[in-house]
Structure 1
């Protein structure tokens, strides 16, 4: 068993199939299958359940996969530090909300990349539940989420408070009981705020229209398809161009807390360590400015 074995298992899990891993790694599919069988024989356990749709990790396989990611990260970080002790080099995989990827993160990523250009950055946008699960599965180093979490195996760093508003194509919102709400899929913090706010008024969303992209929601609100709750920073440029109208939300529903999460047992290599430092420094600066103002 060597580092390539661990990389092989990681590739199978992340592509969802042995054929996908073979294509990613440049090996023959039969070679990957034989090596997996050999590994399972050596460990005297089953790592994958084989299905018509691909493979699924067994409980033992999940434990092996989690350890494999840490071993590969530790190995590659050690090699990088031995070869280039004064340079920060490696991979950084970050998950985020779509809104944060357009408002909060860009200046941070720009500063980070300027300081550490040899780090290979990968940014994935998704809803909070998917981000959390990917962090728990070691598929992401960490993620920006917009909700309070109750996970004892996660570290949470407060980042910034995000102001929210209701947007519409006309100044008159109309009857909320019959309004069409444009929302993300279940698990999105903005949808959760929308539903909680309406429940506080004994209203249910009767006409939810689901989207995967924030840009699509904004364009559809502008065209009059419906109304939506979005971050003020996203809405402001549209308001200034008179493409839509912004309505304040009641206290308790007008903001969310953005946090950065990562696993407590996650191996913190140099790229990740420097990213956490930058996040904390940025959050500290924002807190100081808020106190001064």
Structure 2
């Protein structure tokens, strides 16, 4: 087993097939098939399920792939640092909340990309629970999450405090007992805030309508499907265009803290190190503004 074997496994996953990996790497398909078989025999486990459409990682294969990706990243980063100590290049994989991807994150990413154009950026929006699990499984380097997560085994960097509001299609105060709430899936910090607010008034989140996309929630609220709690920064442009109306929330439910988390044992390569510096500088500047 060597670094070339790891690269073969990575290429198979990225292309979805052994033939695709052979084409990408310039090897004979039989050579890669033999190497995979040898690896599975050596590890006494199955890395891939073979199907008519290609290959799929087994649970053991997912663990191997994640570690292999980290080893290859570490190796390439070490070589790059030895050859070019001032150059920053490699991979940076970040998970984020959809709201953050539309508000404070784009300027940070733009600044980062302009400063380090050789870094290969991959940004994944999704459910915070999934993003946290991917951080723990070494699938992504870090993630922007809300405050309602278990942060054991993780390092947390405070980023911003988001102001929240209730939005509706009518200027009338919504009836919380009858209105349908438009929410993200379980694990979302905005959904958790909604549930906590309702519980404080001895109400439950009844008849929730779940969405995967923030834009879909905003459009559906505008259409009168229901009401929702979202960041004020997202809602403001809709309010300005008179597409929906904003209602203030009680102070204890009017904001959420967003953090950036990553594993305590995460290998900090140069792309990740520079990204952390940029996040901390952004966080420090936000604190100065608040003061």
TM-score (norm 2): 0.89
172-181 vs 274-283, greater mean Cα deviation: 172-181
Identify the residue that residue 95 of structure 2 maps to in structure 1. Answer: 95
Q: 1:69 offset after TM fit, Å? A: 2.6
CA distance in 2 between counterparts of 1:181 and 1:24 reads 50
CA distance in 2 between counterparts of 1:203 and 1:249 reads 15
Q: 1:252 offset after TM fit, Å? A: 2.0
- Summarize the alignment of residues 217-232 of structure 1 with structure 2, pairs less than 5 Å apart: 217-232=217-232
Check conservation: 1:145, 1:259, Cα contact below 8 A.
Answer: yes
> How many equivalent residue pairs?
287
Identify the residue that residue 55 of structure 1 maps to in structure 2. Answer: 57
Q: 1:62 offset after TM fit, Å? A: 5.8
Q: 1:12 to 1:249 in 2, by over 3 A?
A: farther
- Summarize the alignment of residues 1-293 of structure 1 with structure 2, pairs less than 5 Å apart: 1-10=1-10, 22=21, 25=24, 32-43=32-43, 45-48=44-47, 50=49, 54-58=56-60, 64-291=64-291
Residues 232-278 of structure 1 deviation map (CA, whole Å, 9 limit, x = unaligned) = 00001111111111111112211111000111111111110000001
Q: 1:151 offset after TM fit, Å? A: 3.4
Q: 1:8 offset after TM fit, Å? A: 3.3
Check conservation: 2:181, 2:226, Cα contact below 8 A.
Answer: yes
CA distance in 1 between counterparts of 2:198 and 2:169 reads 20
Q: 1:33 to 1:18 in 2, by over 3 A?
A: farther
Q: 1:130 to 1:14 in 2, by over 3 A?
A: farther
Q: 1:33 to 1:190 in 2, by over 3 A?
A: farther
Q: 1:126 to 1:63 in 2, by over 3 A?
A: closer
Q: 1:20 to 1:135 in 2, by over 3 A?
A: farther
The runs of 5 or more residues in structure 1 that have no matched partner are none
CA distance in 1 between counterparts of 2:236 and 2:218 reads 11
Residues 158-212 of structure 1 deviation map (CA, whole Å, 9 limit, x = unaligned) = 1111111100011113321211111112221111211222122222222221211
Query: Aligned-residue CA RMSD in angstroms?
Result: 2.4
Check conservation: 1:49, 1:57, Cα contact below 8 A.
Answer: no
Check conservation: 1:164, 1:232, Cα contact below 8 A.
Answer: yes
Check conservation: 2:66, 2:139, Cα contact below 8 A.
Answer: no
CA distance in 2 between counterparts of 1:136 and 1:21 reads 29
152-161 vs 142-151, greater mean Cα deviation: 142-151
Residues 95-133 of structure 1 deviation map (CA, whole Å, 9 limit, x = unaligned) = 100000010101111111121111111111112101101
CA distance in 2 between counterparts of 1:184 and 1:14 reads 29
Q: Secondary structure at the match of 2:93?
A: strand
Q: 1:34 offset after TM fit, Å? A: 3.2
The runs of 5 or more residues in structure 2 that have no matched partner are none
CA distance in 2 between counterparts of 1:67 and 1:233 reads 39
Q: 1:32 to 1:23 in 2, by over 3 A?
A: closer
Q: 1:3 offset after TM fit, Å? A: 1.6
